[in-house]
Structure 1
Amino acid sequence: MLKIKSIRDLGPQFVKNDHKMVGQDGSYSIPLNGKCLWFFGDTLIGKRIPGESLWYPGGEKIGPESMAGTGGIEQMLTNTGLLISNNNAENGLHEFEYIREPDGSLKQLIPLKPDENPDEFRIWCLHGIKLKEKLYLFYQKIEMLGEGDILPVNFKILGSGLSVGSDKDWNFNRLTKNGSDLIWREREPQFASAVFHSLKDDFIYLYGVIANEAGVQQCYICRVNPNDFENFNSYEYLVDENNVWDKDLKKAIPIFTGMPNELSVSYNNYLGKYLSVHSLDLTGKIVARTADNPWGPWSHPITIKQIKVKRKLDLKYPTLIYAAKEHPYLSKNDGKKIYITYIEFEEYFPHLLEVEFE
């Protein structure tokens, strides 16, 4: 059984920056050649008003529109990225460089299309992978809705897709299937919440999440040969836990449950197991699972840490912990020591933990 020796809280990351970036979520890491791309979701530019929540400027709940011009926020980008060249995270992540436009402003890596009104739609980050000279970034297309019943924001997932570009000019184009850039639709697993390239069998395994009719978040898996990565008809989905695959998504079976959406999957040499890390629903728990194969069978979730937050403000929504995942690029001692980020919605920066296994 997985046992934790120690945990160090390294706090929120990227807070001190040169771009007036005052909050961002998502926080996926994608190794490149000697560097690592960190891919983020909604990114806020401007300033924070002391004693005021980002989500309740002037005491009023934000609406579905872009937050640009709201409170102290000057600009809102729905996905951004930065590069880290140092994989030593023992004292936090300090040596980083945001990907920028020619004028020095932060660049939205997957831009909105002309018919995607920023007050209605957002393109949120998922995971990605670099294959030869191409860099692939998965994403979700989001439609913003009216006020939520509990949370200050409410949205609808329209589907997920894949963009391709280069880490030389950072320009990305969305790939299409049957004329649509939504490769997986609203009621289908949203690939890829995690990407894992197995050197053992040279398959790329993709993990996608969707809620069932009872509202239970379920994770599915598909695989593809790297040479067929842009051929979506070649993707195979797990249809039986005994390593049986089929190209018919309707036959796919879930491999585990309980993640809000984001997760990580890696092979941990120290454990001799595949390792998945994710938030456990909205409980505030960060959990890990292990398996002998990328598709499982996966263990029950083992709690790494219960996140507890002491709020400074009297807020109108419950504590929201999400987006937990491991960053294998940062791991030490063959994975005996790993690094995990999560997002606490009010703090709204990637919060870094160092976890050492027994």
Structure 2
Amino acid sequence: MACVLTSALGCSSPRSRKSVGFEVVQTRFLGSMWNQGHAAASIVSQDGGFSYAVPGGSLWWFGDTLRGTRDEEGKPHFAGGAVSASVGLRSQTDDHVPPVLHYLTGADGRVAQAIGFLAGETWEHHRLWPLGGIYANGKSYIYYSRIEIGTGVSDFKSDGSGLACASAPLSPHQRITTADGWRFPVAPMCVVPDGDWLYLYEIDTRNERQGVWLSRVRADQIEDPGKYEFQCGSGERFCTKKARQRLLLKSVPGQVSVAWNEYLHKYVLVSASDIFRPREIRFHVADRLYGPWSPPVATITVPEERQGKTVRLVYCAYLHPELFRENGRIMNVTFSMRLRNAAFDSNCETVEVEIL
């Protein structure tokens, strides 16, 4: 099927219906997510954008979020610093796409840090980046990565991952600590519930093997780092020894997001780009959360020019099932970008992916 191209549409590479996947018949790139919700919270730019359902709507989590304003022409005016983890609530009555989010703010009305620092941590030396999350046990849970900051622009590294929670979703999330500290044995990009279990998908490189690694924990034991299990064989073979964990899906760069698609009667996994295909977003499918997962069955390509600049890399591609239409025949995906000569002037975008 021919690729649809207009100023608002991107190029797709469909697969045959004879394959295990689906055909992408059209993509509609809807532009920057920045809107009145961002303006109300004094947000200029941010990246990330993972979401999960909560009572009354869905929570959307973002990483580095810069404060300031935009003028009538959209030009950014940075002022007031930044936060490394921000969160907004999409009301279930909101029918905007991209959604208009109500952000967690401080007393001054500006976007606030949603995951707090512990004693001994400082903004000068640390960041807390949100990973995947879930609403369970009457609480909102968000996994996070603690980042150590050095002296250079690219001088940062992960120092472990943890879990934070809040009884009211749109409120500061408190980090869970145990006798052993704040670290948890998982750093999931995505959390998917199935019965009593939560399945956690993590991107990592171990012993020169890169890709997706699967863990799980019972929902009522999520706060106990010792209760996590790791897939150590094909199918539902899980064990308590992380050293025995097997690679679920190889060569999946960046971040990962998983959601059930009723139209396909399959789970869909979306991943971001690598340096060899820097504008590509890939789709995999599976009948079960624990696999086996297919190779990429379809891809879409973000147009070369976005937000008035050249796209250097696409990352943080996330599915948003709350925005799916026609039972998933039209999927909604958000993504972040590194733009040439843009510095921090970049926001997440939304694309609708129509399939057959």
Deviations 1:129-164 (A, max 9, x none): 1113211111011112343xxxx5342111111111
1:102 equivalent in structure 2: 107
From 126, 129, 132, the equivalent of 1:124 is 129
1:82 aligns with 2:77: no
Deviations 1:191-236 (A, max 9, x none): 221000014xx3110111212344x632111111112121222211
1:208 aligns with 2:202: yes
SS across alignment from 2:189: strand
1:57 equivalent in structure 2: none
1:39 equivalent in structure 2: 61
1:13 aligns with 2:33: yes
1:134 aligns with 2:161: no
Give me the identity figure in percent: 26
What is the CA–CA distance in structure 2 between the aligned matches of 1:72 and 1:210, rounded to whole Å?
A: 34
Segments of structure 2 that go 5 or more residues without pairing to the other structure are 1-20, 340-344
Aligned-pair CA distance for 1:115: 1.6
1:320 aligns with 2:326: no
1:1-358 matches, cutoff 5 A = 1-16=21-36, 17-47=39-69, 72-86=78-92, 92-147=97-152, 152-167=153-168, 170-184=171-185, 190-199=186-195, 202-214=196-208, 217-282=210-275, 283-310=278-305, 319-346=312-339, 348-358=346-356
- Distance of aligned partners of 1:312 and 1:270 in 2 relative to their CA distance in 1, 3 Å threshold: closer
Aligned-pair CA distance for 1:175: 1.6
Equivalent residue letter for 1:13: M
Equivalent residue letter for 1:351: E
1:66 equivalent in structure 2: none
What is the CA–CA distance in structure 1 between the aligned matches of 2:84 and 2:69, rounded to whole Å?
A: 17
Q: Which moved more, 1:76-85 or 1:174-183?
A: 174-183
Deviations 1:33-59 (A, max 9, x none): 121111111100024799xx99xxxxx
What is the CA–CA distance in structure 1 between the aligned matches of 2:90 and 2:149, rounded to whole Å?
A: 31
- TM-score normalised over the length of structure 1: 0.83
Deviations 1:294-328 (A, max 9, x none): 0111111234312232379999xx81210001011
What is the CA–CA distance in structure 1 between the aligned matches of 2:309 and 2:203, rounded to whole Å?
A: 33
- TM-score normalised over the length of structure 2: 0.83
Identify, as 1 or 2, the structure richer in strand.
Answer: 2
What is the CA–CA distance in structure 2 between the aligned matches of 1:104 and 1:314, rounded to whole Å?
A: 31
Whether the aligned pair in 2 keeps the contact of 1:88 and 1:330 (CA below 8 Å) is no
Aligned-pair CA distance for 1:168: 5.9
Aligned-pair CA distance for 1:120: 1.6
- Distance of aligned partners of 1:49 and 1:353 in 2 relative to their CA distance in 1, 3 Å threshold: same
Whether the aligned pair in 2 keeps the contact of 1:194 and 1:264 (CA below 8 Å) is yes
Whether the aligned pair in 1 keeps the contact of 2:63 and 2:85 (CA below 8 Å) is yes
- Distance of aligned partners of 1:305 and 1:32 in 2 relative to their CA distance in 1, 3 Å threshold: same
Equivalenced residues, count: 326
- Distance of aligned partners of 1:137 and 1:284 in 2 relative to their CA distance in 1, 3 Å threshold: same
RMSD: 2.6
What is the CA–CA distance in structure 2 between the aligned matches of 1:73 and 1:257, rounded to whole Å?
A: 42
Aligned-pair CA distance for 1:280: 3.1
Aligned-pair CA distance for 1:20: 2.6
SS across alignment from 1:183: coil
Q: Which moved more, 1:71-80 or 1:23-32?
A: 71-80
What is the CA–CA distance in structure 2 between the aligned matches of 1:271 and 1:210, rounded to whole Å?
A: 28
- Distance of aligned partners of 1:99 and 1:76 in 2 relative to their CA distance in 1, 3 Å threshold: same
